[in-house]
Amino acid sequence: MRPLHARYPFFRSAREAVEEAEVDLVNVVTSEPAVVERALERIEGALEDADVGETHRRTRVELLSYPVARVIVSLVDEHLLTRKYAFAEARTAHDRFAYDLEQSVELRSVQRQQLTQDLLLAEFDLAEAVRETPDGYAVNVGTYLALAADKRNPEWRLVNRPVRDGEVSIQRSELLALVAQAVKQRVSEGLPLAVPAVIGDELTDECARVRAALADLDLMRDIDTVVPELFPPCMRALLDQVQKGEHLAHHSRFAIASFLTSIGMTTDEIVDLFEVNPGFGEEATRYQVDHIRGETSPTAYSTPSCATMQSYGDCVNMDDLCETIAHPMAYYEKKLDDADEDELTDWREQQTTNS
């Protein structure tokens, strides 16, 4: 087992090293507590920081913590956990790729095995699909589409990219981002695993710890990310009317104001949003929003349900997801859960910059 395997435990050579060592996971989870604890650190880091943390000083512990973490994620079997874990492994790998590839020749010479770009591309079967150009890199269109499919930023859309002779032009940073997508796909592959009962029984306490972390995450997460692109169709329509300065009926104003309050917008931000509306009065609008928020009333008001939105005629432009939920907030939570973590991070940073 080599340091490179511990650093990149999802590499095929790392898996082969584990197989050659004839590692028995039953023995690992019963007699190597450091491995199990590091596996938990990977998962909890994914939930809290979108990162699996620093490598353990012992190569064996670090390498074996990866398959054990995948086992625990499989036993818990929650979509949100699986998605966040795969993203964190990929994000950590991306940072390590960037760092390792920039190391000096002198530093590389003292290491027995060093990450190289050729090795990295070969690992994910990208050697034939990517070539270096004078301006950066060119990647086969099919490969690009497969790896950029989850990227929501407009810059990743094929129509916004230079394409020539079946190849997409990209820069080095974008190449590493695409390789990170390949990591995420590999980590997610096969999850949840079929875990033998003898292993599952040994990890009961660890699974309970992860479920508790997930529960805390749900309790702590008042939705603090304002992403209009992910709003339910009814709220996007109301927001569009607000921004166009169109008159809204009282029930419509209540619906959009209560929704914006519930997703974390401040009273000042909502007042600023409504300023373009006909008949806007700052004092009255501020009072109404604070009333909805519960600051000038005995209770905070929640966003109307889908049934209420329908009864008032505010339910419009229904999509497939609308058919499966009963509340606009449930729609938004589902969209946030399914959104790419990179994009959510970008949106949060943009909000911080603009605030």
Q: Containing domain of residue 350, as a range?
A: 228-354
Instruction: List, in sequence order, the alpha helices (H) in 161-249.
Output: 172-188, 197-202, 204-220, 233-243
Residue 228 preceded by cis peptide, ω within 30:
no
Q: Are residues 74 and 7 in the same domain?
A: yes
Q: Are residues 193 and 262 in the same domain?
A: no
The pair phi, psi for residue 206, each rounded to 5°, is -65, -40
Q: Are residues 203 and 240 in the same domain?
A: no
pLDDT digits (tens, 9 = 90+) for 267-278: 888 888 887 766
Domain termination residue (choose one: 169, 203, 220): 220
What pTM value is reported for the model?
A: 0.67
Q: Are residues 62 and 190 in the same domain?
A: yes
Position 104 pLDDT exceeds 60:
no
DSSP state, residue 225 = -
Q: Are residues 262 and 205 in the same domain?
A: no
pLDDT digits (tens, 9 = 90+) for 159-177: 889 999 999 999 999 999 9
What letter represents residue 211's amino acid? R
What distance in Å separates the CA atoms of residue 315 and residue 37, rounded to the nearest whole number?
48
Helix or strand (DSSP H, E) at 48: helix 33-49
Q: Are residues 36 and 160 in the same domain?
A: yes
Q: State both tokens at 288.
A: 């109404």
> What CATH number is given to the structural domain containing 41?
1.20.930
Per-residue pLDDT band for 350 (boundaries 50, 70, 90) equals low
Asked which of 14-28, 225-239, 317-331 is least confident by mean pLDDT, the reply is 225-239
Q: Are residues 90 and 122 in the same domain?
A: yes
Distances (CA, A) of 259 to 99, 100, 249: 42, 45, 16
Higher pLDDT, 108 or 43: 43
**Do residues 198 and 205 touch, judged by C-beta distance below 8 A?**
no
> What does the pLDDT read at residue 83?
85
DSSP-assigned letters across all residues of 305-328: PHHHHHHTT---S--TGGGG-SSH
Residue found by looking up tokens 């497969």 in the block: 146
Domain termination residue (choose one: 161, 188, 220): 220
pLDDT digits (tens, 9 = 90+) for 106-165: 455 444 568 999 999 999 999 999 999 999 999 999 999 999 987 767 788 898 899 999
Domain termination residue (choose one: 220, 237, 255): 220
Q: Are residues 194 and 320 in the same domain?
A: no
Q: Are residues 148 and 258 in the same domain?
A: no
Q: Are residues 157 and 300 in the same domain?
A: no
Strands of 167-170's sheet, edge to edge?
130-133, 136-140, 167-170, 163-164
Q: How many domains does the chain have?
A: 2
Q: Are residues 210 and 233 in the same domain?
A: no
Q: Are residues 232 and 216 in the same domain?
A: no
Residue found by looking up tokens 């373009």 in the block: 276
